[in-house]
Amino acid sequence: MIDPAELARAFDRPTHGPLAGVVVADFSRVLAGPYATMLLADMGALVVKVESPGGDDPRRWRPPVRGDESTYFLSVNRNKFALSLDFADAGDLAIAHRIVARADVMVENFRPGALARFGLDAASVRARHPSLIVASLTGFGSGAGAALPGYDLLAQAASGLMSVTGDPDGPPTKVGVAVVDVLAGLHAAVGILGALHARERDGEGQRVEVDLLTSALSGLVNQASAVIAAGASPGPLGNAHPSLAPYEPFATADGTLVIAVGNDRQFAQLCEALETPDLVEDARFATMPARNAHREILHTLLTEALRARPAAEWTARLRDAGVPCGPLNDIAGGIRMADELGLDPVVTAGPAESGVPTVRHPIRWSSGDLDYSKAPPERDADRDRILRWLAADSA
């Protein structure tokens, strides 16, 4: 770790947060790696984003755009300092090695083995820098699956996630965001934090490996457990839940309301609020297993009751009764709801007058808010500053 005050002076950015003084050499591209390193940067780490001369691919993934920049790239690259390097150029490669030498953490998601010819593979850099933590993200591991491309859609398909997503009579469906990349990025960030903690204890770095397929299987939680522990064969249920009922959207007089009943007590409260007490006494609905066995007829009966009033009125009535429920928002509505609840979901990365609106880091610390003073960088934007920092260390 480096003195946070030194980094603040060198990079003209307030350096505070749980990871102040940690330096991350970010050689990752696209989403999983950059998402992990953005979380670290938000927490105060200095993240040096190393891109190829052409830049990270998501810079060209458009529309949509803000100005001339892809919003995909903007979503995972705030609080970073960027420079472009061509590893085939001896001078640029030397700069890459100097960045790694100053780093506490190196993050990369190159095809397994691709960095070896540059001496930047995990084994080589850890041999030179035993305290370095190297986080490697792959699609399908570094063994038999090393040659398989690591794209989120492929991981969603291969893991079985698509087989339990969508309507029962429809085709397998991907989740509407690259959720496996996000899961892998979260796992990488957790693994890095664990490795940093272990290094405080024993002084040794280590390699952290995360792959998309295992991340997806871990993220399947109860669905994967149903297969492994019970030999079940889950399939798509649309918006229904395999173990809970009622737990899905329902039509009302003027729109859709989501109801999430997690136990028998809540079901009784729901029936009381709907003025359908006979459903509580009905043996078909008395317990969660019974309700699951008769979910179709239960859905029909509840919909008949819910059509009597508009969604907003039902929302207030059911919440007063202690029934978990809520609106079915689009993304803009979700952001508005978070704002109305005082969660301040949007923060400006960079100066207020020219910064980029981004989604707030999802964790809060009682010691204070995080810093969002650095907008997602333009390609090679911080080369001079990074080279001056490296030169000062060599002097």
Active site residues: 181
Give the count of beta carbons closer than 10 Å to the beta carbon of residue 93: 16
Q: Which tokens sit at 362? A: 């999802």
Backbone phi and psi for residue 392, each to the nearest 5 degrees, phi listed first: -65, -35
Q: Which of 130, 127, 128, 149 is nearest to 138 (CA)?
A: 149
Amino acid symbol at 367: S
Residues of 45-60 as b/e, b for ≥16 C-beta within 10 angstroms? bbbbbbbeeebbebbe
For the chain, the residue count is 395
DSSP 363-382: --BTTBPPP--SPPPPTTTT
Question: Are 44 and 16 contacting, i.e. CB atoms less than 8 angstroms apart?
Answer: yes
Range 329-353 burial, b when 16+ CB lie within 10 A, else e: eeeeeebeebeeeeeebebbbbeee
**Mode of pairing for the β-strands spanning 346-349 and 356-359:** antiparallel
Contacts of 143 (CB under 8 A, 6+ apart): none
H or E segment at 325? strand 325-327
Q: How far is CA 84 from CA 4, 16, 58, 255, in A?
A: 25, 26, 15, 50
